Structure 1
Amino acid sequence: MDKSKIPAGQADALGALLDDHRAVKTLFKTFKDTEDRDGKESIAREVCQQLTVHATIEEEIFYPALRGVSDSIDDMLDEAKVEHQVAKDLIAAIEEDPGGDMLEANFTVLSEYVSHHVAEEEGELFNNVIKEKIDLRDVAPLMAARKEELTQEPS
């Protein structure tokens, strides 16, 4: 999704989520290109942290702001909730044993799963938000403040 084409009422909120998606996508590629085991573990920890913060912001602020606008958006939010839970389960497996034998497998599945989720979110949910002209101007600062709060907390 091209950030420059997002209407003003949604630009800050959707733009912030798009930035998160791009950052994690870059880290997934870096993980794949890294040969060093310590490097892979460090990248995996960073991805898990970023995804946890991102999912929290969506679940606490973004998704509730969309709930009830339309049945189709509600259906997408229900699916996103399930997808988030699966991602959280994979994140927990990675965080429990980042140096373990299953790191590559868990991280690969997480990468594929998150890529699928992002494609649906950007291609369907965000497009419906724009189509429905949902004003997210009040939501964006709440999202930014919550992200700041979550990234300042000790791990």
Structure 2
Amino acid sequence: MPSSSTGTASRKTTTRRTAAKSKTPDAISLLRADHKEVSALFEQFEKARSTAKKQQLVEQICIALTVHAQIEEEIFYPEVQAALKDKELVPEAKVEHQSIKDLIAAVEGVAPDGEDYDAKVTVMGEWVKHHVKEEQNEMFPKAKKAGLDLAELGERLQQRKDELMAEQQMKH
């Protein structure tokens, strides 16, 4: 046991310059974590009974999805499209994003007002689930095989995500 802790300590000193990089998840890990977070928010919404709780969850969902879609569209998708010479996966993902954005616009800042509101959030969750499945089963494996620098992409995604989250916090 002591030898492994010594190895860790020496490794930390030799990689001090890259320590910040190693803390940032690679692009796919970051996007998967976003998917998991928003999925959990939709599950909480399904169980929520109070209007206040629903409204709070929808606000979180809308922010998370808006930021996630923007970093994918600005950074991840162009890289994937170029690396794969893709004419199908990315355009389809962008159309799915637009459908989700339309539902975000329909519920964002609106007080939960019954069945239509709940239905819009439920359908949004279903579309997100479908979108996530396609990304994780098709796009992500192809991006890995394409030899993209996923660590560098992860850093760019995280930096942009932090900027956008700060902007969202100022709005709300």
Give the TM interval when normalised to the shorter protein. Answer: 0.7 to 0.9
Distance in structure 2 (CA, Å) of the matches to 1:137 and 1:21: 18
Structure with larger Rg: 2
1:113 aligns with 2:154: no
Aligned match of 2:27: 13
- Equivalent-residue separation in structure 2 for 1:124 and 1:98 (angstroms): 37
Paired with 2:109 and 2:103, the residues of 1 have a C-alpha distance of 10
List aligned pairs for 1:26-45, cutoff 5 A. Answer: 26-45=40-59
Residue number in structure 2 paired with 1:125: 139
Which residue of the partner structure matches residue 136 of structure 1? 150
Match of residue 104 from structure 2: 91
Q: Partner residue of 2:71? A: 57
In structure 1, C-alpha distance between the alignment counterparts of 2:153 and 2:35, rounded to whole Å? 18
Structure 1 residues 107-116 or 124-133, which shifts more? Answer: 124-133
TM-score (norm 1): 0.87
SS at 1:137 equivalent: helix
Query: Which sits farther off after the overlay, 12-21 or 89-98?
Result: 89-98
TM-score (norm 2): 0.79
The question of whether the paired residues in 2 share the 8 Å contact of 1:52 and 1:88 is answered with: yes
Amino acid at match of 1:148: D
Shift of 1:96: 4.8
Q: Which runs of 5+ in 1 are unaligned?
A: 1-7
**1 CA distance for matches of 2:117 and 2:72?**
26
Superposed displacement of residue 79, structure 1: 0.2
Aligned to 1:24: 38
Aligned residues: CA RMSD: 1.6
How many residue pairs were aligned?
145
Query: 2:70 is aligned with what amino acid?
Result: T
The range that moved more, 21-30 or 97-106, is 97-106
| CA deviation after TM superposition for structure 1 residue 131, in Å | 2.1
Q: Which runs of 5+ in 2 are unaligned?
A: 1-21
Write the letter of the residue equivalent to 1:132.
A
Identity of aligned residues (%): 40
